[in-house]
Structure formats: structure tokens, C-alpha cells
Amino acid sequence: MAINFALSAARVHARSASRDSRTVLRKAAESWRATHREQRENELSGMGVVIPLSEWLGHNNGPDILENTTFKEWCWTRARAAAFAPPDTETGIRWARKAHELGLSYEEYRLELLERGRYPTDEDARRIRAARP
């Protein structure tokens, strides 16, 4: 079997060229991110926001100040709506009646059901009503 070395060399050259272009793109992206971060930090400093010397200095593992929370809020809203939605209409009506009998709102009843994994009793209802503001 004959091997065409000229074709193989051309393929090798093309592959290395594509890798070089990817490396160049990565470096350009990294430098853009660094520059953009520096610009944002300068803007925040101009507004009076104190930026610590170290990333972890005073960090409580909360969200980044520069992070957009709109998407997370949307996710939490959908997750909460899904958690509080009854599995079917009859179950929702039964839970609403039981909540009314206990003197709770549907949300309080459902939250207790989700938190404890059991249906709220009269004692639970008294505790919940006592904890209301």
C-alpha cells in the first residue's frame, strides 16, 4: 500500500494552522476579558465601590457583584411556581379546603407540606399562625 506523503504533510500543515488560529483566538479572548474586567473595576471604583485586593478577601461565597441575576430570578420564579402548583385540580381543591379548615393560606399549607413531607396538623397550624408577622 502506497502512502501519499505530500497529502499527509498538507493535512498536518492545515491542522497545525487551524490550531494556531484557535490559540490566537483564545489569547485574544483572554486579553479582552482582562481589559473588560479592568474597565468594569475602574467604573466601580469611580462610583465609590471598594474592590478588595484579593478575590477571596471578605468573600462569603455570595453572587458576584458584577453577575447578572435576572436569569437566576427567572429560574427561581419558575421553580417556585412548579413547586406550589398542585399535581391536579382535585388535589389542589382538597389542599385549599384543608388549608382553610386549619386557618392557613394555600401557600402556607403547601410550604409546610413541602418542608416537612407530611400534611400539616392542628399543632403545625397553631405554630404557623403564631409565627405570622
Task: Summarize pLDDT for 29-79 with one digit per residue, the tens.
Answer: 888 888 888 888 888 888 887 776 666 666 676 666 666 678 788 888 999
| 75 and 131 part of one domain | yes
Give the integer Cα–Cα distance in Å for 3 and 43. Answer: 60
Q: Are residues 93 and 126 in the same domain?
A: yes
Last residue within a domain, chosen from 60, 83, 98: 60
**Is residue 17 pLDDT above 90, yes or no?**
no
Question: Is the same domain home to 49 and 83?
Answer: no
Residue 125 has pLDDT above 90, yes or no: yes
Q: How far apart are CA 121 and CA 104, in angstroms?
A: 11
50 and 15 belong to one structural domain: yes
pTM of full prediction above 0.85: no
Range of the domain at 8: 1-60
Q: Indicate whether 32 and 51 sit together in one domain.
A: yes
Our count of domains for the chain comes to: 2
Distance between CA atoms of 75 and 24, rounded to whole angstroms?
36
User: Do 101 and 120 meet the contact criterion of CB atoms below 8 Å apart?
Assistant: no
